[in-house]
Chain A
Amino acid sequence: MRIGVTVFPGSNCDRDALHAIERAGATPVELWHADASLKGVDAVVVPGGFSYGDYLRPGAIARFAKVMGSLEEFANAGGPVLGVCNGFQVLTEAHLLPGALLRNAHMRFVCSRAPVRFESVETPWTSLFESGDQLTLPVAHNEGNYFADEKTIAQIEDEGRVVLRYLENPNGSLNDIAGICNEGRNVVGLMPHPERASDPALGSGEGLKVFESVLSFAGIKA
């Protein structure tokens, strides 16, 4: 299986994502922002970082990058897409996911380890988890405070589209939301960084299951 990782100017978790994908047993493929081609990958990760310096608004400029047009087609056709941190912000700006990520409620960047619970696991990126699974995942963001209007929140809650919830909310996000998916369940956005918890040498390997999930979902044994 080939998993692509988009690289925008200012992405800085791209190499970490490529490394985790390799560890999960898939072939990592770099997708340069200025190339429209997705190089025939089977899934795409939009990594964390500060694409375009977070200027204007995190993700606001990246969503217009050349690669995004192809990515939108890929997502709309049901292709598995995962946005992590800045990648989540990019996907909301591109309207592939609802809502927005606001400035953290305490107005400070936060880098820590957040205890989280998997809620809905019927997505390609969570297929190896059970609903209710708890683990601790690294977070590192300035704008992780998930917000959407009441109607949208009610809708994603009713449709079981909250993928991940904080047990201790680090940023003030509504309903402790740490991750959601789209209606088709193929596009997932997570504020925590599973790629940073993908190696027991760093203290936790549980995040690797996110990348193994997409292989398993595709019928490939991790």
Chain B
Amino acid sequence: MNIQETYSSLGLSDFEYDRILELMGRAPNYLELSLFSVMWSEHCGYKNSRPLLGRFPNEGPRVLQGPGENAGVVEVGDGWALAFKMESHNHPSAVEPYEGAATGVGGIIRDILAMGARPVALLNALRFGPLTDERNRYLFREVVRGIGGYGNAVGVPTVGGEVEFAPAYSGNPLVNAMCVGLVRSGDLVRARAVGEGNLVILFGARTGRDGIHGATFASDELSEDSEAKRPNVQVGDPFAEKMLIESSLRLLEEGLLVSLQDLGAAGITSSASEMAAKGGVGIEIDAALVPLREEGMEPWEIVISESQERMLAVVEPEKAEEVLKVAERYELDAAVVGRVAGHGDLRILNNGEVVGTVPALHLADAPVYKREVIAPAYLGEVRKLDLEELPQPEDCNSALLAMLAHPNLCSRRSVYEQYDHQVGTDTVVLPGADAAVMRIKGTSLGFAITTDCRGRHCYLDPKGGGAAAVAEAYRNLSCVGAEPVAVTDCLNMGSPEKPDTYYQFASCIEGMAEACESLGTPVVSGNVSLYNETEYGAIYPTPAVGMVGVFKDVSRRATPGIKREGDEVLIAGNFQPVLGGAEYLELIHGRVAGAPPVPDLAVEKAVSDAVRRAISAGLVDTAHDLSGGGLAVALAEMAMYGGIGAEVQVLPGGRQDVTLFGEVGGCVLLAVPGEKLGELEEHLEGVPYSRIGRTGGERLSIAGLIDARIDELRAAYERDLFERYAPEGGQIG
């Protein structure tokens, strides 16, 4: 192999190689080239995303740690703080779904752990191609098994998330895992290496050849050859991770660590160079001191291996022995593998002999590609929608039942029942509500978490879709009664080198940033996953939003299920639904088209805030966000969850299907006892709302168009997504 073939095979471009030569002032050896290859991959180096990510607001009164650390941190109250982050594991999951998903969960848990927080909740945002395809069914089944297999064993409850299906994700599933950790704000740790002469200790699982060049693999498009990259996928051991959690927390509790960093993409190289760059110091690692699980590994393999369940700590020399003892108690391997140095380099040794030296700052300084944002031609075409061409359903009842039975709208029970969502005994609201709600033991405090994104909306209107994802998360948290605080995100996109995708990427970020500013929810952590493409094209732009909110009193909360007969049903918000980008349009008419609703952020905030205040005041315990499937689906969910029906009359004019199934942002359904109505109306002052009906009975009926028994609704809705799935019908008259 000549030198160009070598660096190309490592994923480096000619331009990048020249830059390396310039920075180093000499030709790098293979080990050094490998270090650049992994650290300058899109996955680690954010080459295409850095200029765009600067658009996000990331400061706020509750923010203790913004982007730049292993996770963002916000204040809850009484000295408690939450660390959280979301991360993708799309490429590994596409070729090895069980391990890909499992190690995605493991990786995000370690990010939270590295902040010194105990991981207390997991969520995941998943996307797959249609279940009519066998490969998609396999990916879906194994990803869910992988998430459960890891999360259940490690003892962190999986409390929420979302899953959607669309042809754009065929062969390129999205697996985004989010973790939230709880920490006393005074106990936060950071990944900054300091103190020349301090020791570097690697603890956890042994290092093997798994996941070599995983970060480079994750930064390329998926193709037929991807199957051959299966060895690039790491293998997870949740048992080791559980030990890693307990030992890390013990080490921090006993004050034995100077700093802590998890090992993720690019292994020791990435962790050590980040710790060094942040602390403005150098780190020397002797590859020969790393505990190995297989023989004959080359130094370069050892330092870029992505073996899972490992952490790197900087420790004062006199405390090293105690650290090794704690690791031993938890049956983990641990070794002093290096030291903090004054020279500013990441220096790799082998039995004391230097085999590679690169200034840590150079590794952390991947080139940045700023591209031109050009509006794509496809947008004009797909946004056309002529309602005249669409027949109205002859029978709205059947249309509702068909929608409730569709994988995009049906019950997620068959997914979340495979996840232990109660371990830890802090899960106050179980999966299936608008957001997961957790308590903080021994206090009245709590927090809520949601993940949201409508890929179809982002495809049809990248900027509006980005804003809508943030707005929906804000609304979902408000619907359970939590005050939205901050955002983590996982920006899943196609290749940034293609102008259409780059436009989507830039516009989604612009929309999200505007919404985050208007709603006062800064972005405190996040992740970018590019090159989500197969030979059939790119995925829908899918900027998954994870949002965290807080409760002063977690007993004041709401859920979607109807609680009592005779409650007044209200809709708060500007209820002006449209069919552009609606689930109904795709599921019933097979069309992905039109202009989706663009959120009016001022109204969105006013509605959500009013609803939240009414819940906090103890007036409302039943609230549900109006989302995919529109009014009819939202009311059906409220009736099914509570086991009590409703009769709803008042509706705007126009097409019946638009009213029943059209979608609109900024709307919340509420049910409230008659005697509290007056007080609720005071809370809703200044916000558009109307009374639309009353709860009761065993049927859901809407304006003479829908009339179904709750058990009929459930028969359609409560389906097992893993049973052999019949070809999609969908076309209902």
Which residues of A pack against B, CB within 8 Å? 9-10, 12-13, 15-16, 19-20, 48-50, 52-55, 108-112, 138, 140, 142, 193, 195-196, 198-199, 201-203
Q: Could you tell me the distance between the alpha carbons of A108 and B427 in the complex, rounded to whole angstroms?
A: 22
Q: Could you tell me the distance between the alpha carbons of A50 and B151 in the complex, rounded to whole angstroms?
A: 11
Query: Does B330 interact with chain A (Cβ within 8 Å)?
Result: yes
Q: Could you tell me the distance between the alpha carbons of A111 and B144 in the complex, rounded to whole angstroms?
A: 13
Contacts of B237 in A (CB 8 A): 53
* Least CB distance, B481 to chain A, in whole angstroms: 15
Contacts of A53 in B (CB 8 A): 153, 237-240
In contact, A12 and B418 (Cβ under 8 angstroms)? no
* Least CB distance, B468 to chain A, in whole angstroms: 31
* Least CB distance, A74 to chain B, in whole angstroms: 24
Query: Does B148 interact with chain A (Cβ within 8 Å)?
Result: yes
Q: Could you tell me the distance between the alpha carbons of A196 and B554 in the complex, rounded to whole angstroms?
A: 18
In contact, B153 and A10 (Cβ under 8 angstroms)? yes
* Least CB distance, A190 to chain B, in whole angstroms: 15
Given contacts A109-B148, A198-B425, A201-B428, A50 and B417 within 8 Å (CB-CB)? no
Given contacts A140-B420, A201-B428, A49 and B239 within 8 Å (CB-CB)? no
Q: Could you tell me the distance between the alpha carbons of A195 and B441 in the complex, rounded to whole angstroms?
A: 14
Write the chain A residue with the least CB distance to B441.
A19
- CB-contact partner of B422 in A10, A50, A138, A201, under 8 A: A138
In contact, A202 and B427 (Cβ under 8 angstroms)? yes
Write the chain A residue with the least CB distance to B155.
A12
Contacts of B426 in A (CB 8 A): 202
Write the chain B residue with the least CB distance to A142.
B152
Sample of 6 further A-B pairs with CB below 8 A, known A109-B420, A202-B426 = A9-B242, A12-B155, A50-B238, A140-B423, A193-B422, A195-B425
Q: Could you tell me the distance between the alpha carbons of A16 and B428 in the complex, rounded to whole angstroms?
A: 14
Query: Does B352 interact with chain A (Cβ within 8 Å)?
Result: no
* Least CB distance, A182 to chain B, in whole angstroms: 27
In contact, A111 and B419 (Cβ under 8 angstroms)? yes
Q: Which of B237-254 contact A (CB under 8 A)?
A: 237-240, 242-243
In contact, A111 and B331 (Cβ under 8 angstroms)? no
Contacts of B148 in A (CB 8 A): 109
Q: Could you tell me the distance between the alpha carbons of A13 and B148 in the complex, rounded to whole angstroms?
A: 16
Q: Could you tell me the distance between the alpha carbons of A193 and B157 in the complex, rounded to whole angstroms?
A: 14
- Among B243, B330, B331, B420, chain A packs the most CB atoms within 10 A around the CB of B420
- CB-contact partner of B152 in A50, A55, A112, under 8 A: A50
Contacts of B242 in A (CB 8 A): 9-10, 12, 50
Write the chain A residue with the least CB distance to B421.
A111
Q: Could you tell me the distance between the alpha carbons of A53 and B309 in the complex, rounded to whole angstroms?
A: 14
B398-426 vs A, Cβ < 8 Å mask (1 yes, 0 no) = 00000000000000000011111111111
Contacts of B424 in A (CB 8 A): 15-16
Contacts of A48 in B (CB 8 A): 423
* Least CB distance, A186 to chain B, in whole angstroms: 26
In contact, A111 and B239 (Cβ under 8 angstroms)? no
In contact, B243 and A9 (Cβ under 8 angstroms)? yes
Given contacts A9-B243, A12-B154, A201-B428, A111 and B422 within 8 Å (CB-CB)? yes
Given contacts A9-B243, A52-B239, A109-B152, A196 and B417 within 8 Å (CB-CB)? no
Interface residue SS majority, chain B? loop
Query: Does B555 interact with chain A (Cβ within 8 Å)?
Result: yes
In the complex, 17 of the A-B residue pairs with CB atoms within 8 angstroms, ordered by the A residue number, are: A10-B242, A12-B154, A12-B155, A13-B423, A19-B441, A50-B239, A50-B242, A53-B240, A108-B417, A108-B418, A109-B152, A109-B417, A111-B419, A111-B421, A142-B152, A193-B422, A201-B439
- Among A19, A111, A202, chain B packs the most CB atoms within 10 A around the CB of A111
In contact, A54 and B153 (Cβ under 8 angstroms)? yes
Q: Which of B422-438 contact A (CB under 8 A)?
A: 422-428
Contacts of B418 in A (CB 8 A): 108-111
Contacts of B554 in A (CB 8 A): 201
Q: Could you tell me the distance between the alpha carbons of A108 and B721 in the complex, rounded to whole angstroms?
A: 13
In contact, A202 and B155 (Cβ under 8 angstroms)? no
- CB-contact partner of B425 in A16, A49, A50, under 8 A: A16
- Among B154, B239, B428, B554, chain A packs the most CB atoms within 10 A around the CB of B239
Write the chain A residue with the least CB distance to B416.
A111
Write the chain A residue with the least CB distance to B555.
A201
Write the chain B residue with the least CB distance to A112.
B417
Write the chain A residue with the least CB distance to B242.
A10
Contacts of B441 in A (CB 8 A): 19
Contacts of A112 in B (CB 8 A): 417
In contact, B153 and A196 (Cβ under 8 angstroms)? no
* Least CB distance, B422 to chain A, in whole angstroms: 5
B140-171 vs A, Cβ < 8 Å mask (1 yes, 0 no) = 00000000110011110000000000000000
Q: Could you tell me the distance between the alpha carbons of A9 and B554 in the complex, rounded to whole angstroms?
A: 33
In contact, B239 and A10 (Cβ under 8 angstroms)? yes
Q: Could you tell me the distance between the alpha carbons of A198 and B422 in the complex, rounded to whole angstroms?
A: 12
Write the chain A residue with the least CB distance to B427.
A202
In contact, B422 and A196 (Cβ under 8 angstroms)? yes
Write the chain B residue with the least CB distance to A15.
B424
Contacts of B155 in A (CB 8 A): 12-13, 49-50
In contact, B439 and A16 (Cβ under 8 angstroms)? no
* Least CB distance, B29 to chain A, in whole angstroms: 39
Write the chain B residue with the least CB distance to A17.
B425
* Least CB distance, B516 to chain A, in whole angstroms: 32
* Least CB distance, B503 to chain A, in whole angstroms: 42
Given contacts A9-B242, A10-B153, A111 and B425 within 8 Å (CB-CB)? no
Q: Could you tell me the distance between the alpha carbons of A203 and B243 in the complex, rounded to whole angstroms?
A: 31
Write the chain B residue with the least CB distance to A193.
B422
Contacts of A201 in B (CB 8 A): 428, 439, 554-555
Contacts of A142 in B (CB 8 A): 152
Contacts of B239 in A (CB 8 A): 9-10, 50, 52-55
Given contacts A109-B148, A111-B417, A12 and B427 within 8 Å (CB-CB)? no
Write the chain B residue with the least CB distance to A14.
B155
- Among B242, B243, B425, B426, chain A packs the most CB atoms within 10 A around the CB of B425
- Among A15, A108, A110, chain B packs the most CB atoms within 10 A around the CB of A108
Q: Could you tell me the distance between the alpha carbons of A196 and B417 in the complex, rounded to whole angstroms?
A: 16
* Least CB distance, B482 to chain A, in whole angstroms: 16
Contacts of A16 in B (CB 8 A): 423-425
Q: Could you tell me the distance between the alpha carbons of A55 and B240 in the complex, rounded to whole angstroms?
A: 12
Q: Could you tell me the distance between the alpha carbons of A9 and B244 in the complex, rounded to whole angstroms?
A: 11
In contact, A140 and B153 (Cβ under 8 angstroms)? no
Contacts of B555 in A (CB 8 A): 201
Q: Could you tell me the distance between the alpha carbons of A56 and B605 in the complex, rounded to whole angstroms?
A: 53
Write the chain A residue with the least CB distance to B246.
A9
Contacts of B423 in A (CB 8 A): 12-13, 16, 48, 140, 196
Write the chain B residue with the least CB distance to A53.
B239
* Least CB distance, B637 to chain A, in whole angstroms: 19
Contacts of B240 in A (CB 8 A): 53
* Least CB distance, B143 to chain A, in whole angstroms: 14
Write the chain B residue with the least CB distance to A32.
B329
Q: Could you tell me the distance between the alpha carbons of A150 and B317 in the complex, rounded to whole angstroms?
A: 62
- Among B152, B416, B419, chain A packs the most CB atoms within 10 A around the CB of B152
Contacts of A15 in B (CB 8 A): 424
B525-555 vs A, Cβ < 8 Å mask (1 yes, 0 no) = 0000000000000000000000000000011
* Least CB distance, A83 to chain B, in whole angstroms: 17
Write the chain A residue with the least CB distance to B243.
A9
* Least CB distance, B39 to chain A, in whole angstroms: 32
Write the chain A residue with the least CB distance to B118.
A15
* Least CB distance, A197 to chain B, in whole angstroms: 9
* Least CB distance, A39 to chain B, in whole angstroms: 18
- CB-contact partner of B420 in A10, A20, A111, under 8 A: A111
